[in-house]
């Protein structure tokens, strides 16, 4: 490998300001870039983390999917794997909201009248 002509100070600055550090998804340990789709295309944890960090993309995709022929257009633009994982993400969020609602009603029904919350 040829030796670089850059000074050590230039190399240090390049490492500090231009190096991209990818965070790891806690549940699976895969690296995930902020702007990139997951490299491990079949990992549901990576896709969940990706959609969780891109709220605008999720809302826009949801609006497009709600229209007639929206699913087909999203498949043409982003691919079938994206649509499949997006639908799984939305279903998971719906299930989590349902579980939270059930837990709230159970907790509230177990409290006595006048008991403080917390």
C-alpha span between 50 and 40 (Å, rounded): 11
Question: For residue range 85-117, what is the model confidence (pLDDT) as tens digits?
Answer: 999 999 999 998 887 766 655 544 444 444 444
**pLDDT at 86 (0 to 100):** 94
Residue 116 lies in a domain: no
pTM comes to: 0.68
Show the domain range for 82. Answer: 22-109
Confirm whether 14 is domain-assigned: no
Q: Say how many domains are in the chain.
A: 1
Q: To 10 degrees, what angle do helices 80-110 and 70-78 make?
A: 120
* Assigned domain for 55 exists: yes
On whether residue 73 sits in a domain, the answer given is yes
Angle of CA points 41, 48, 63, to nearest 5°:
100
At 30-68, the pLDDT tens digits run 888 877 888 888 999 999 999 998 999 999 999 999 988
């Amino acid at each position: 490998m040829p030796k670089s002509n850059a000074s050590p100070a230039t190399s240090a600055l390049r490492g500090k300001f231009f190096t991209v550090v990818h965070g790891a998804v806690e549940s699976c340990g895969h690296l995930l870039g902020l702007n990139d789709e997951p490299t491990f295309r079949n990992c549901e944890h990576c896709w969940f983390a990706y959609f969780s960090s891109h709220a605008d993309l999720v809302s826009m995709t949801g609006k497009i999917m709600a229209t007639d022929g929206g699913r087909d257009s999203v498949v043409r633009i982003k691919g079938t794997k994206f649509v499949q994982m997006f639908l799984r993400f939305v279903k998971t969020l719906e299930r989590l909201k349902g579980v939270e609602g059930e837990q709230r009603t159970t907790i509230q029904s177990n409290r006595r009248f006048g008991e403080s919350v917390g």
